[in-house]
Amino acid sequence: MSKYIFVTGGVCSSLGKGVAAASLGNLLESRGLTMRMVKIDPYINVDAGTMNPYQHGEVYVTDDGAETDLDLGNYERFTRSPLSKANSITTGQIYQEVIRKEREGRFLGRTVQVIPHITDEIKHRIVTVGEHEGIDVTIIEIGGTVGDIESIPFLEAARQFIHDFGKENVIFVHLTLVPSVSEGELKTKPTQHSVSALREIGIQPDILLCRAERPLEESMKRKISLFTNVETDAVISAFNITTTIYEIPLIYSKQGLDGIVVKKLKLNNTPKKNGRWRELVSAYINAGKIVKIGIVGKYTDLHDSYKSIYEALYHGGIANKARIELLKIDSEQLETGDDIGGFFKEIDGILIPGGFGQRGIEGMIKASEFARLNNYPCFGICLGMQIMVIEYARNVLGRRHANSTEFDINTDYPVISLLEEQVDIKAFGGTMRLGKSETILKPGTLIHRIYGKDSIFERHRHRYEVSCKYHQDLKKSGLVLSGFTPDNNLVEAIEWKNHPWGIGVQFHPEFISKPVYPHPLFAGFISESLACKEQKG
């Protein structure tokens, strides 16, 4: 039977529950244990697909096409746990399913209530993830903070796990804040109140992760232990780091977090095997080279909007023993000025990420043109690839009004458009290509050399395509169409001919990049950006 670890948060949001849960999963895997991870989001949306990136960060896509919270990206980067729709639970999904069952008469006329019907559905979904043979632990991160009205049904369901499976099979890890006040003094009172609120629900935390500016002194740990009824050794210092988030599992391990979990859940205490993780952290910290990458995007004001892309760039840096500096450029700023080169003066490579909507598009097109004409390494992802195609059609083909029908429905050269069967479908997401699918790479192209194979599988999240009507025009003008769907109809990758590194892809390679397995496209992009830097002197 699977053991269960619930990770909750208190005091305030954005303390890093996702990274904490992923780090714990990483440590348990290093001990030879098999685990699964679940993210619970208390919002009423069915999934994250329709959310603005400024509201909730990036939308992370799984192999089976689930549009989920960005924390699932952390799970995938830190662990080997497979992810699917089943690993993402929302309030919207729970109520939608319970109401469906009620309409079908599945409750036999009984009054449908939060307890037991909502909580039973929550428990069923959690148990389903970890019930398969060979799974030792299921880690469940409950979003939000203790005290949020939206989280109460999920916390109640978690409390019931103690009665359903026994205390020896369930533990609670609570992440809380130890803030600093005047002159840097750390205060424990918010943590005390947070644990008190959790205990009022009926949950006594077994482990505390105390987020603070610096490591907690032993006297402060003892004080927190005394007021929260948590063993002193189980009060873990989750202090701010200045290196990389990938060091966090090592910091927790040094304080014995994984050993405490193994002991409390009576798991087989196998030897640790996290040498490779230590090596990658060391490679990042001791990197002797610096590469500056300009990200020209629509949502650059919020770091989490492009979370997976930033992390994949760091992975590319690790692969090249280089440190990555991100220079975030709001594409709208490029639309008003003529001195485009000024924005890229300190930059070694340009990345144009995905997005939706017309805002900032012309700035992205200017960035693409600058990279093409000045031999800057350029990487276009999803919308970024479409931008590269539009720019090429305008400035090489001479179709000055070339555009996507997403931005100009009346353009006389719709080089990017919906497929014909999609045009009349208005529901957002109803025509999206979501999840993992196959791409056939053209032999002799740069992308084929990078992957070293004819066929690849990558994850998608988009509606618009390079219009089949203009494939021949683009090829005749010199644009390399280097990747297609297996039916040879839809363009999956493009390249600039006679350019050091100009690649656009319709899929999202960032979603499958890991620090221990950097994605070859990001590793190649960083390698060429390093070469560009050296050439500039």
Question: Shortest CA distance to 522 belongs to which of 341, 347, 376, 318?
Answer: 318
Q: Is 335 exposed, middle or buried (0-12, 13-18, 19+ CB in 10 A)?
A: middle
Which phi and psi angles does 315 have, rounded to 5°? -65, -40
User: Which of 382, 391, 460, 492 is an active site residue?
Assistant: 382
Neighbours of 457 (CB within 10 A): 11
Strands (E) across 53-103 are located at 60-61, 67-68, 88-90
What pLDDT, on the 0 to 100 scale, is given for residue 428? 47
DSSP 115: I
Identify the segments of the chain with pLDDT beneath 70.
420-430, 537
Task: Tell me if residue 510 is catalytic.
Answer: yes
Q: How far apart are CA 346 and CA 337, in angstroms?
A: 18
* Residue 502 DSSP SS3: strand
> Do residues 176 and 208 make contact, with C-beta atoms less than 8 angstroms apart?
yes
Q: Which residues share a beta bridge with 290?
A: 323
Kindly report the backbone phi and psi dihedral angles of residue 505, in degrees, each rounded to the nearest multiple of 5, phi listed first. Answer: -130, 140
Residues 323 and 349: beta-carbon distance below 8 Å: no
- Residue 496 token pair: 């600039």
pTM: 0.94
pLDDT in tens, 328-352: 999 998 888 777 888 898 899 999 9
Taking CA atoms, 362 is separated from 288, 289, 338, 366, 375, in Å, by 36, 33, 12, 6, 20
The pLDDT tens digits for 316-328 are: 999 999 999 999 9
Backbone angles phi, psi at 322, to 5 degrees: -130, 150
**All residues at 6 or more sequence positions from 284 whose CB lies less than 8 Å from its CB, including other chains:** 243, 244, 246, 314, 317, 318, 323
> Catalytic: which of 174, 315, 448, 508?
508
Q: Which of 141, 247, 391, 510 is catalytic?
A: 510
Domains in the chain (CATH in brackets) are 3-279 (3.40.50.300), 288-536 (3.40.50.880)
CA 177 to chain centre: 24
Token representation of residue 495:
């390249």
Question: Measured between alpha carbons, how far is residue 159 from residues 153, 198, 201, 260 in Å?
Answer: 10, 10, 8, 20
Contact 286, 280 (CB under 8 A): no
Helix axes 152-165, 189-201, angle to 10 degrees: 70
Q: What is the DSSP letter of 118?
A: I
pLDDT of residue 419: 76
> 73: Cβ–Cβ under 8 A, 6 or more apart, which residues?
58, 60, 307, 308, 311, 511
- Model pLDDT, residue 12: 86
CA 102 to chain centre: 35
How far lies 512's CA from each of 68, 76, 395, 407, 508, in Å?
Answer: 14, 8, 33, 29, 8
